[in-house]
Amino acid sequence: MKIKPYGDTLNDGAVQVSFTLPIPLSAKAVQAAKEVAKSMGLTDPSVVHSEVAGDQFSFFVVYGAVKTSIDLDKIKVVELQKTSKTKKEIEQLIEEKLKRDIVFVGASTGTDAHTVGIDAIMNMKGFDGHYGLERYLGIKAINLGSQVSNEEFVRIAREEKADVLLVSQTVTQKEVHLKNLIELVELLESEGMRKDVLLIAGGARITHELAKELGYDAGFGPGSYAEDVASFAIEELIKRKGE
């Protein structure tokens, strides 16, 4: 099945792109934006919005159309099969199958100063009506906050005998989040701890496929809640216990 983007009519290929150019806003800058759009393969590009984005920078929104279509049947993705359970069901599984408290240690590691994501998963109040792991019976949730070095993260994980490590990454300039995520895996391996923990990554630009490529057990992106993470972790721990 082949499809194209949709704007006014089916398969018209209409798209909207936005970007910043390192030049002052002017008629020449607007034309430059059109040329950029053309170089991207857009036909009949039109600059529908432009504004000053700071000294020597301009921001543009451009409409255009793509010529090519994509074949959905050829697309293959690595997707996490979510089997989200309720808080009560997760607590019951821990009590009946694991028979001990499960330790989750989480943090925004490296230079990342953002805590919204990790707090939404771990803090008692949670987010959007979904309680965080601190409220779960049978779970010991240790939220280390932000800007935690990988070395400190691993040290505390060892001290607390962590079962699950949750790593939140929001800062993505120059792919710094990827470097930090890879360094953590390498550190856990060098410390002989990688096989002893479930390693989960989360963040705005994290996908399950990316996380697996980097050596993690799972990845959770936007729209994930504590019960999603806990369901995967507890079910995986139960599987490992049975091996």
The residues that are catalytic are 125
Alpha helices in 16-122 (DSSP H): 27-39, 87-93, 116-122
DSSP state of 33: H
Pick the closest to residue 21 from 51, 43, 66 (CA basis): 51
Pick the closest to residue 119 from 159, 170, 81 (CA basis): 170
What is the separation of C-alpha 16 from the centre of its chain, rounded to a whole number of angstroms? 24
What is the C-alpha radius of gyration for the chain, rounded to an integer number of angstroms? Answer: 23
Helix (H, G, I), strand (E, B) or coil at 178: helix
Query: Do the beta carbons of residue 201 and residue 211 sit within 8 Å?
Result: yes
